[in-house]
Amino acid sequence: MNKIKLADLKHLDKQDPLSKYREEFFLPKNTIYFDGNSLGPVPTKTIKNLNKTINEEWGKDLINSWNKANWINLPQTLGDKIAPLLGAKSGEVVVVDSTSLNLFKVLTSALRLNKNRKKVVSESTNFPSDLYILEGVNGMLNNHYECQLIDDDINFEKYIDSSTAVVMLSHINYKTGRISDMKKITDYAHQQGALVVWDLSHSVGVIPMDLHNIGVDFAVGCTYKHLNGGPGAPGFLYVHSDLIEIVSQPLSGWLGHSDPFAFETKYTPANNINKFICGTPSILSYKAVESALDIFDEISLEQVREKSIQLSELFIKLIQQECGDFGFELFSPIDAAHRGSQISYKHENAYPIMQSLISRGIIGDYREPNILRFGISPLYMRHEDVWSAIICLKNIMQSNEWDSSNFKIRNYVT
């Protein structure tokens, strides 16, 4: 293998068609950010948009902005902006609540549609919050369902049968970055009469998807990772247009009513995606998401995916080249086609190593029990950044800097 050189990587950055989008983000000096798969950085437009919202829409126009600035329709208008990133149609996506609340809504909705079946299939390595929601929903329904959490990601189909009501999975595994075959699993689940719910939190914004044409029934996701909507930004949910009119959801809030401002005593759900809205949208958060989504208006997700693969392949090769003797074990799939926009490595001293990197401005994160996780964010990350991060890691390992007691103190958020 030819040795990778920094000069060659700088040349690639100059040719990068996505390089101009780096200017769309506020990136602190002397920081290389590998945690966009957990919290995206601040888009520069967001600062201006929030100032306008606070000073003009809220400050001057006050309550009139529900109409004048169209605040009331932000859940639907932002949903329609996310829809192309998912391969969804207009009216199939709404931005509302949190990912966990949305999962509660769509999972319960799916179970109501398939109420004569007794099994829900998911993965033992699914994101814990998703599994907690599944556990809570099943408990609410008197543990009516057998919740089968499987470990076999290769022969998944053998666990889906005529007793399966719902298959609930993450498109990208949060620890390994492994991509599940959405089309294959969805097709097989439908052949068996099961419905599918996908969590897209780690894939939206970095991987092209085709939810509507594949026939995905339900999906949820967040806007604060690769969509850069801000900490605690609202989630989104998707419902296939074939199901929207017939499905019902359990949280019958007033803005899900067919005519909220009629203030009727009896609840009549809207006959469109609005039925999944509950309470009043948090406008400041929605406005942050709005400006972040504007960045994607002219971006090709195919180009984003191509650069993501380039950067992650470079990361793996540089680890082998510069840090091959330090005990790092690749935890993500070696095949880029099966790997999302992150790289994970196992190491027995993963936590202090990551803390040492963070102290030097190389920001990734740690996941139990021994995983260093590096998000790949193609819109603002350069090939040069990957080089700098790996050389920094090499210096940390050579000097045993990570072995300082300061780096072994556990923070609450890892």
Q: Is 188 a catalytic residue?
A: no
Beta strands in 146-290 (DSSP E): 146-150, 164-170, 195-199, 218-222, 235-239
Exposure string of 3-17, with b = 16+ CB inside 10 Å and e = fewer, is ebeeeebeebeeebe
Q: 3-class SS at 85? A: helix
Among 410, 254, 385, smallest CA distance to 307 is for 385
Angle at 373 between CA 368 and CA 376, to 5 degrees: 155
275 near 249, Cβ under 8 Å? yes
Rg (CA), the chain: 22
Q: Is 199 a catalytic residue?
A: yes
Alpha helices in 58-217 (DSSP H): 65-68, 74-86, 99-113, 128-140, 182-191, 211-214
Q: At what angle do helices 383-399 and 6-15 cross, to 10 degrees?
A: 150
Catalytic choice (97, 199, 217, 385): 199
Alpha carbon distance 58, 227 (integer Å): 25
Q: Is 373 a catalytic residue?
A: yes
Residue with tokens 């109501």: 112
Q: Is 403 a catalytic residue?
A: no
Alpha carbon distance 340, 172 (integer Å): 6
Under DSSP, the state recorded for 249 is: -
Catalytic choice (224, 236, 286, 331): 224
Is the previous residue joined to 369 through a cis bond, with omega within 30 degrees of 0? yes
Catalytic choice (21, 25, 34, 127): 127
Q: 3-class SS at 32? A: strand
Among 98, 88, 114, smallest CA distance to 251 is for 98
Catalytic choice (117, 307, 373, 394): 373
Distance set, CA 46 to CA 34, 49, 50, 289 (Å): 21, 5, 6, 8
Alpha carbon distance 55, 62 (integer Å): 10
CB-hemisphere CA count at 13 Å for 154?
1
Q: Is 328 a catalytic residue?
A: no
Among 347, 335, 385, smallest CA distance to 363 is for 385
Catalytic choice (81, 117, 225, 275): 225
Catalytic residues: 127, 199, 224-225, 373
